[in-house]
Amino acid sequence: MLTMSSRITRHKVGVGLLGSGVVGEAIQDLIFEGLQGHVGADLELEIRKIYTRNPSAKKWFAHRPELFTAQAMEVIDDSQVEIVIEALGLQDAADLPIFRDYILRAFEKGKSVVTSDKAVLARYGKEIWAAAQQSGRQLRFEACVGGGIPVIRSLTESFAVEEPEAVFGIVNGTCNYILSQMEKSGKPYAEALNEAQQKGYAETNPTADVSGSDAEAKLLLLTAVAFGLQLQPGTTWRKGIEDIHAVDFRYAGRTGSSTIKHLAVAKRSDSAVQVFVSPVLMPQDNLLAGIDGATNAICFKGRKSAGPRCDRDCDYVLVGPGAGGGPTAMAVLGDVCELARAKERRFAGLPSLVEPGILTAQPENDIDGSFYVRFIVKDRAGIVGDIGQTFGGLGVNISEIWQLRHSGEELQTLARSYHLKENPEDILPFVITLERATLRQVRDALDSMRNRDYILVDPVWFPIWSAR
């Protein structure tokens, strides 16, 4: 009698690895330290070559020096490599075209590609997907968004019957960790950032994370999958978290019953899609308000093709570790296994829930909503009236004015953090919330009052979250 194991033919898959950084090393750990028991009895993943700029400095070089090379083409051109994994990790924007060329070369050589490099796809996605289609090879990029969260697979398979209304969420763990620490402990931004760096949640140069460019790259991929829009980096509205101050959490929590989260948002409005990355004032009863630390959470809102639109915030929430070598490596190898098990499947381009060309991106200045605006001004009469008139002259109504009682110590802390020369007792922080307005209206109003002699600090402003 044949046993189950004797009836299964084990398929060996040759893998070439570009990159031996955090993700690349985690992939090596998983394969060299016994991943096989987790990918099933039908597959055997075998790393044939590993490219890295400095092989001898890498963890696994001493054990398997024959696998390492300082020449990327040795990996791509290896005849025994069936699938190329691109996990190089962006250090400099000048590397992007080089990484793109590696992927294109892999397609030319008849190999499919799995990548964790969202920056390359965000910048060169259209060219890369066209090359995949022309070569008849496949591209997988689950690890590009949400680390270990299976969001791309969920959008293209589990939610495929839904017509997308919105996809949004917390997609950068560094920003979420910093904001969480500022809220919980009242730490200033610089101190929370330093802590994130010490714990490995933020890079030595954190610009890509805190400026929102990392979140933007992920959002562009989500927007392409959900809405069929292939947008370029720098063409969408993007705000980082650098201007958020501990005082903003005081106003958000004590007066607004809210918190502040950094979101990536693609939200449909008729035949247009609002696409933006920004801090938002998030009600405390929203699920995303409770996402703490470096965790990511991505929401999907849709409707059945023949069903009505709903005012609910979202239908599905995917929560999990959004970064780190382990979760990202698992997502990469999940894609590798899917390719290895479904060779007859010839998906080569970008999946989309909406036929490309049906929707357009809403112009940035037309994006609308309610807004939080925090001022720090000289404490004198008539200022609120002047601000109200300025907004009113542009057709924007003030909804509420929030003013907390600040202790002398709090005012001194504010004055020090903004390097103000004024006596702390003579400064006045307060918040106004605006009724629905466009970005153009808000920007024009703030630009017109920026040089008023009572303005001590550039106003901090961002949207108030709404399911609409």
Closest among 188, 169, 294 to 248, alpha carbons compared: 188
Contact predicate 82/112, CB 8 Å: yes
SS3 content of the chain, % helix, strand, coil (to 5): 40, 25, 35
Cα separation of 340 and 342, whole Å? 6
Sign of CA dihedral 338, 344, 345, 348: positive
Contact predicate 97/74, CB 8 Å: no
Residue the block writes with tokens 């037309």: 366
Specify the 3-state DSSP secondary structure of 318: strand
* CA 274-278-283 angle, 5° bins: 95
Residue the block writes with tokens 């092989």: 55
Active site annotation includes 421: no
Catalytic site residue from 58, 218, 267, 301: 218
Q: Phi and psi (nearest 5°) for 233?
A: -55, 140
What is the chain's length?
A: 468
Closest among 303, 168, 301, 176 to 222, alpha carbons compared: 168
DSSP annotation of 287 = G
Cα separation of 89 and 82, whole Å? 22
Tokens of 217: 């790259």
User: What residues are labeled active site?
Assistant: 218
